[in-house]
Every structure is written in C-alpha cells, then in structure tokens.
Structure 1
C-alpha cells in the first residue's frame, strides 16, 4: 500500500517520517517541507525540543524544520524566536552534521545575531561545517560577514570555495570593496571552471575592467560556460559580441545544454542593443 501524501499526515507522523532514511532521504524532506508549511506553535515547540535531544539526528532535523518554518508568512518576531532557539545550542554543539544544519538554518532565518555566533566556526576542521558557515552568512552584508566569506573563498575545500565565491560575486553584488574585488581576482586562477566562472561574473557585475582579458580568453574556449556568457552580458563590453555570435553559430541543440541557449540569446541581445 502506498504511503499517504504528507499533507494528510498528522504532525506526529510528519516528525516521525522526518527521521527516516539518510540525511538526504526524499521522503524525510517532503515531511520537513510539510512541517514548514503547516507551521504553528506545536511544530515550533517540537522542533525546538529536538534541538536539545541526545540524538544528533533529531538535533539536526530540529534545525532543518526551524530553518524555513512558516517561510511563507513568518513575522520578524517569529524569526527572532526561532533564532533564540538555535543560538544557545549552536554554541555547545560538537557534531559536524548538526553544526552544518544549524548554521544553514540561521542563514535561512537571516537574523543578524547569527554573524558573531558563526564566526568561531569559520576555521572548523570539517569542511561541511565551513560550508554551513557560508550558508549562514549568505544573507548578511556587514563587514564581518563579508570578511569571513572572503576568507572562505580561499578555503581548501572546493565546495566551500565555490559557494563563498558565488555568494560574494553574485548574491552580494551590492557590496563593492577593493578587498572583495581582489578576492574575486584571486579565483580567476582556479583549476575549477565553475569557480572561475563565478569570479568572472562577480567582477563583471562590478564593471571591473581587469576582467575583460580573462573573460575574453574564457569565451575563446571551444566550450563556453553559462557563467562566462552571463559575465559578458554584465560587463556590457561590445567587443565580446563576435565571440558570442560564434558560439551561437556553433551551438548544437542535440549535443549541447538546452538551458545555455536562452542565456546566450539574451547576452547577444543586450550587446547588440549597446552596439547600435
């Protein structure tokens, strides 16, 4: 017999289902999403109680539930209350997976008190925790948060470095300091094409003229990334238009990524408009 849809389950059943399987179990996450939508004081109290559990899995799931609880219409007061539940347990937590979940939850909540609470974890030996710090700081634009993200954009772990570069380059595009630009310039020598692309886009969004040469070289490659095309559009330098047109001419709808073509068309449209 098929399991009933999550919306038909009781709160007790949803909490129980959230513990099934491994960390990325699809059924568990469907239950968590249903709890997010259901909300209410009972769900909050149960999730907050799990933060104090002897079970690391329950502590982590408690953080997962609080992360986006009532996300559709939660008030600042509710956000502050959810943060109040997380901050004391974060300070004493030792399990790496739980620390990652708690840090990410604070990122979803966006309470500025998370910044000083997360800073001690930026040098944690486990890269999953450092990744959680990136997620936790992703909504914050104060000097401490940006400085920590700059540090993590140089992290030895590829995933941490990628997401920190993305956060600085695109998500925090309204922040423009010499130090942030230098951090993005550092990433142009990356062996990983996606991280290089995030740095190209971040610099192009800030109209940094130093990115033109590296961007031109990226567009001269036989295989060009979506990020490089987005960077060409953002930089608004019409000298890049012939390279974009060449890639459109060479595009093979059967062999290439179909999501790439709309991005390429948009960039060409923008640069052609500027060249008229």
Structure 2
C-alpha cells in the first residue's frame, strides 16, 4: 500500500486524534514528490469517498504552498468541491487548502466557513483568513469574532492573525486584542500583548514587562516589543543574554540607542542629498514593524537603516555611497541592505 492510500485508510477508520496525526505525516511524506502528489490530489478531490476527498485536499494544499504554478488550478478545484461538500473533516481541509493558495478569491468561502460548527474548520479559517485583511472589513470582523471562539487553539491563531499577520488598526481591533490580554490560554494571551505592542499601545507596557519577567516569550513578541519601543522595558531586556532579537528590542527601547540611530538616518539623508540632489527618497517607519526604512525611486528600492548603519560602522557618508552603488544610474540595481 502506498503512503497516500495508507493515509486514506487511516482517515476512513480513524478512532482517535492520533490517527489523523499519522495520516498528516503520511501526506507530508507523499508531498515530497510534488508532481505525483498534485496528480493524485486532483483525482481524489473528485472521489465519492470523503476520506479520499480530505486527503486529496491536504495533498493539494501542501503542493500549493510550495508550487506557485499550481495554485490557480488548486483554487478552482477546491472551490468546485466546496459547492457540494457536506463533511466537516473535508471542510477543514478545504479551509486550509484555500489559505495555501494565497488567493483572495478564496476569501468569500472562508468567511462562510468561519461560522462552521466544527472547531477544526474554524481553526483553519483563522489560519487562512489573513488573506486580504488589509482592505477587507469583513475579514477583520471574522477574525475579531474568532478571537472570542470557545476553543483555545482557534482563539490563539485568530489573535495571532489579527494582531501580527494583519497590519490594520482601529478601535475594534484593539478592543478585541485587549479582550484576550487576560485569556486563560497562555499563547492567546501572548499574541494579544504582541498585537497591541505592534500597534504601539502604551497601555500594554506592564503586560509586556511581565512576559519578559517570566521569560516565556517568542521571537514574535520580541519584535512587537521593539515596535513598542518603551524605555521601561530596558531593564527587563538587559537581563537576557543578547541575541539578534534582544539586541533589536533594546535598540528600539533604549532612548540613547534610538537617538543615535535617528541621528545616523538624518546624516544619511544629508549625505544622499549632497551626493544626488535629484534623488527621490524618504525615510519612514511602519506602525506594526520595528526600525526605519530608506526608500528611493518611488519606493522601488529599500534599505534597512539599522543594517546600513551596522555595515558602515555608523558612517552616513559611506552609507550614502552604498545606496548610490545600488541604484541603476550608478551601479547595478540594489535591494534592501
């Protein structure tokens, strides 16, 4: 029996969560041969057997994640399937596969599945729904509802999607995140704190300090703390052995370090203007991301101010030379430093 048939058999006769886990491992193994996995997946999603349809969706989702060329066909196949599908287990695989396509045409179906009675379906909707959330109020509203889901895993992922993957801001988003700051689930609570920190909500500083004090935080939380950039967090950060994440957070939270970075950015702007007065450039920061970015030529080229500064040991004139070398009129086209 091949691994795909074995996975189908496990799903067909599943009696415990471990059977689904084993089937998922077999799907992952089968996807190592992407061409065969896609071929079998497209055939299985048309099967009358729900176990085969589920495994077919899982195969197509895995392939779509890594093969952009197949995503359009996967999307259309899954949209055709969902029109008649009634099995919750298949709906869960559909929701995940729609997210794997990265296609905003999947959003209407995901929104419909967001109200599904099955918690696995709602989980994969939360996993997938950041698609288009910058411009789609309906997506944000669905994520907000899912952050209050009765199931811990659904709340956790929806809070991560809303707080970190989604760059939108507003009172409804912040209220939803604040509602999770006291969540019984540790991971949902941390995601809420990170989401508020990314939006530079100073009220979350004591909660961020407690996370640092407890020591149980993720790299995502450190990035959020860097966005927050509050001096009150410096003593907590200094307690840790410095790595890239700690250094970045310290650089944003320590007023002296941030002032030195800002002075370098100002010096770089002066040096660029002196060297290339005709250059269209600007320095900006994103509300939900730490650090500063230099953009030039209508936002076509980008450099991290912090990385430029490190490369030139703080010399803005040398940094301007590197930028000039990366522009098409003075050298080969450049990208982020």
Interval of TM-score (by shorter of Structure 1 and Structure 2) = 0.7 to 0.9
Give the superposition deviation at 1:222.
4.0
Alignment of 1:37-116 (within 5 A): 38=35, 44=38, 46-69=40-63, 71-75=65-69, 78-116=70-108
* 1:256 aligned residue: none
Which stretches in structure 2 are left out of the alignment for 5+ residues?
Answer: 11-18, 261-337
Contact 1:201/1:234 (8 A) holds in 2: no
Aligned length: 245
Residues 223/44 of structure 1: CA separation in 2 closer, same or farther (3 Å cut): closer
Contact 1:18/1:31 (8 A) holds in 2: no
Q: Does 1:264 align with 2:246?
A: yes
Q: Does 1:23 align with 2:20?
A: yes
Give the superposition deviation at 1:118.
2.1
* 1:166 aligned residue: 160
Give the superposition deviation at 1:175.
1.3
Regions of 4+ moved over 6 Å: none
Q: Does 1:149 align with 2:146?
A: no
Structure of higher RCO (CA pairs closer than 8 Å, 6+ residues apart) = 1
Give the superposition deviation at 1:216.
3.1
Give the superposition deviation at 1:217.
3.9
Q: TM-score, normalised by structure 1?
A: 0.78
Give the superposition deviation at 1:135.
2.2
Give the superposition deviation at 1:184.
0.9
Correspondent of 1:175 among 149, 168, 176 = 168
Of 19-28 and 231-240, more deviation after overlay is shown by 19-28
- SS of residue paired to 1:65: helix
Contact 2:60/2:74 (8 A) holds in 1: yes
Give the superposition deviation at 1:146.
1.4
Which stretches in structure 1 are left out of the alignment for 5+ residues?
Answer: 1-11, 252-259
* 1:126 aligned residue: 118
Contact 1:153/1:164 (8 A) holds in 2: yes
Residues 72/202 of structure 1: CA separation in 2 closer, same or farther (3 Å cut): same
